Amino acid sequence: MLKTILIGSRVYVQGTFVRRLGNGKIVVRVGKRLFEGFPVAAGTAS
């Protein structure tokens, strides 16, 4: 399942969902790299 996350103040990353963390962040995979950030609600990324 593809998810979009916010890392930093204006950087969005879209990748395959890996896991949810206890602090509200999620981890997504893009190729071999893992990125951690806050999930973006559908329709809010611009």
> Alpha carbon of 11 to those of 34, 35, 44: distances in Å?
15, 11, 13
**Residue in this structure with the two tokens 């893992």, named with its chain if needed:** 34
pLDDT digits (tens, 9 = 90+) for 1-46: 999 999 999 999 999 999 999 999 999 999 999 999 999 987 776 5
Please state the domain extents for the chain.
2-39
* Token representation of residue 23: 């602090």
Q: Are 6 and 12 in contact (CB under 8 A)?
A: yes
- At a CB cut-off of 8 Å and minimum separation 6, what does 19 contact? 26, 27
What is the per-residue pLDDT for 43?
74
What is the per-residue pLDDT for 46?
59
pTM (two decimals)? 0.85
Query: C-alpha 36: how far from its chain's center?
Result: 6
